[in-house]
Structure 1
Amino acid sequence: MIFSVVITYFCLLAPFARAQNPSPTIHDLSLKNMDFAMDLYRRIASYHDKNIFFSPLSISTSFATLLMASDGITHDEIVKSFNLEQLERTERPEVIPELFQLLDENITQNGSLKLDQSMALFMHPEFKVEKTFEENLKKYFDADIKSVDFSDSEGSKSLINAYIKHQTKDKVTDVSADVNEMTKLLLISTIFFQGNWKLPFNPNLTQNAPFHIDNYNIVQVPMMFKEDKFYTMEDIPLGARVLKLPYQEGVSMLILLPNKDKDYTEIDEEISAKRFLTWVDKLEKIKLEVNMPKFKIEESYSLHHILPDMGLISIFTSTANLTRLSKDKGIKVSEVLHKAVIEVDETGTTAAAATTTGIIPYSLPRTFTVNRPFFFFIYHEETKCLLFMGRVIDPTKP
């Protein structure tokens, strides 16, 4: 079983004409969101060489709400930073929120996938939010709007954390929001995913094995084992192998494992949406012995320190233009915190047999042993929407 939880919150304080193009689709949005995810990953990776985990969908959805609130340079910076320029239509300002709404409906349409997204706007009772923004927030993102007195910092923090705990099924219990009497608005988005492997690992076969963090550091980790037919491919120019581990109900994890002689940092700059789609298209089903570590990662990111490097600057300064949110002057975003939790283990229930298209027979099983730093991507197969991504440098570090 794997569960993933993400919470992103925004704290707001108060003191081109385009050519006609065909209507963009949710597939277009998924590709743009994927490229944004790869860019954000590289920014985070430039700060440290540790584990990474985040939800590009949760972050993009949050900023899609702020796109509805913004105008002028702030609007332009959000569109550009989140790689949404080719999707925007001047004559249809609602097109991007609509795409996010349609994407969410497509992912969860049969009701069996455990992917819960929620959003809430906590606002000071005296704060005046533009009616159009409030209506669109409810229409496109089904957001809850709650009144809270931020001058009672402890009481408001308790209320906010109770909301987050409930929405993430108790997986995220404390987010340290810097709430004070100057806080006027708090925008919180959560995403919770729980999936069972289609081909579960047998816990009785899990045993400790070495994981090579680098040439000098080796740790012992619980290594899961499964012999079956899996979809895999090799990206020879990149120097890495790919393994698909499907969950039930149309979601999969894609493992990208650099070759033994390839440093994972050499691959950072080569990951892109185009390359990801190539991996998915070229997967072939063969018999494999898969060895993969159990791991749990819990990461928090102060995105207000990272996103300015990606061109999103004005929204965090006194020059922020959020006039579609409120006519009150001096409103800016003071914080953007993103917290993500993932846990991977053996649990799952075998589903119906998968298609056998592309099976390549081998007399002896090959092996796919994940015993060194690797990348992983959790995506919705039909839309190719990237729900989560990360890298594991040391699976023993939560």
Structure 2
Amino acid sequence: MNQWVSSATHDKIKELFPPGSVSCNTRLVLGNAVYFKADTFQGQFHKLGGDTCPVKMMRRNGNFYIEEGILDGVNALKLPFKDTRYELLIILPENNEQFSALVKTISETDKLERILDAPFYSQMARVRVPRFKLAMTPSLALKDTLKEMGITRLFGDADLRKIADEPLFVSDVVHQAVLEVNEAGAVASAASGVCVSNRSMCQPIEFCADHAFVVAVIVDKKVPLFIGHVTSAEE
């Protein structure tokens, strides 16, 4: 299974199932894998502590889906992937001093929904985004979390007769995620769309993610597939 996951994620996740998680009593393993890779000048990234570090910045000028002031002092950018069901969402505060408040705010369900429901109009912009990689290692065991959410029967007296005749239950659920955004891939459709006419003579919006920001991959406009934050983007 780990070999399959490694292959499906282009070696980004090499060990989803840790040793001992699959035993002689295991009858079924359900796994899924998602792999994304996005579409440089030398720049500086401002860390939370005040230090800076060199980073490769990807840049593009054109029409982008941007919401200015989506929250107080916060702008957001959506970059569609080649498969347009998926979008990269970057939520950028004005400065690092606002980052902690932003993370706390979007942890509230209604605030995150407000961002996902925003129209994101196509606007002329100069976009600068660092090359970065987010990885969760090792795998996260979700059994206890799911039990706390009320999903308990699945791990004991489960009714899984449609899967097999013998009595089965789920012994564990594990999750691991890697999100890498760099210049080797392409978010080709990010520059598509028509600029709103009454903004055509305006100066392009500056969206420069050279300090801490929140990032997510959204599927079908509403569902966060990955969500995390970038506070350092060293080469």
* TM-score bin, normalised by smaller chain: 0.7 to 0.9
Aligned residue pairs total 224
Provide structure 1 residue ranges, at least 5 long, that are not aligned to the other structure.
Answer: 1-159, 198-202
User: Cα 1:185–1:358, aligned 2, differ >3 Å: closer, same or farther?
Assistant: farther
CA displacement at 1:396 relative to structure 2: 3.8
3-state SS of paired residue (1:184):
coil
Partner amino acid, structure 2, of 1:298: A
User: Which residue of structure 2 lines up, in the alignment, with residue 377 of structure 1?
Assistant: 216
Q: In structure 1, the residue corresponding to 2:26 is in which secondary structure?
A: strand
Does the CA contact (< 8 Å) of 1:232 and 1:242 recur in 2?
yes
| Aligned match for 1:338, one of 175, 179, 184 | 175
- Counterpart-to-counterpart distance in 1, 2:194 and 2:108: 31
CA separation in 1, counterparts of 2:33 and 2:173? 15
* CA radius of gyration, larger in: 1
Pairwise CA distance, 1:356 = 1.0
TM-score, normalised on structure 2? 0.77
Corresponding residue to 1:356 among 184, 194, 209: 194
1:163 aligns with 2:1: no
- For residues 286-335 of structure 1, give each alpha carbon's deviation from its aligned partner in whole angstroms, at most 9, with x where no partner exists: 2222121111122132112322232223333xx43234244545x43222
Report the Cα distance in structure 1 between the residues aligned to 2:31 and 2:222, rounded to whole angstroms. 18
* Residue in structure 2 matched with residue 389 of structure 1 by the alignment: 226
Deviations 1:92-118 (CA, angstroms, capped at 9, x unpaired):
xxxxxxxxxxxxxxxxxxxxxxxxxxx
Distance 2:114 2:37 in 1: 25
Q: Tell me the equivalent position of 1:293.
A: 130
Where does residue 65 of structure 2 map in the other structure?
231
Q: Does 1:240 align with 2:74?
A: yes
Q: Is the 8 A contact 1:228 1:288 kept in 2?
A: yes
- 1:209 is matched with which residue? 44
Q: Which structure features the higher share of helix residues?
A: 1
TM-score by length of 1: 0.48
Partner Cα separation in structure 2 for residue 266 and residue 241 of structure 1: 16
CA distance in 2, matches of 1:352, 1:323: 44
Q: Deviations over 1:13-56 (max 9, x none)?
A: xxxxxxxxxxxxxxxxxxxxxxxxxxxxxxxxxxxxxxxxxxxx
| RMSD between aligned residues | 3.2
**Do structure 1's residue 259 and structure 2's residue 94 form an aligned pair?**
yes
In 1, the alpha carbon distance for the partners of 2:227 and 2:30 equals 22
Match of 1:189 in 2: 31
- Counterparts of 2:187 and 2:117, CA distance in 1: 29
- Matched residues in 2 for 1:387 and 1:222: separation? 26
- Which of these residues, 312, 328, 353, is aligned with residue 151 of structure 2? 312
Distance in 1 (CA, whole Å) between partners of 2:179 and 2:165 is 40
- Once residues 259 and 178 of structure 1 are traced to their aligned partners in structure 2, the CA distance between those partners, rounded to angstroms, is 46
* Closer, same or farther: CA 210–276 of 1 in aligned 2, 3 Å: closer
Percent of paired sites with the same residue: 23
* Secondary structure in 2 matching 1:342: strand
What SS does the corresponding residue of 1:190 show, helix, strand or coil?
coil
Unaligned runs of 5+ in 2: none
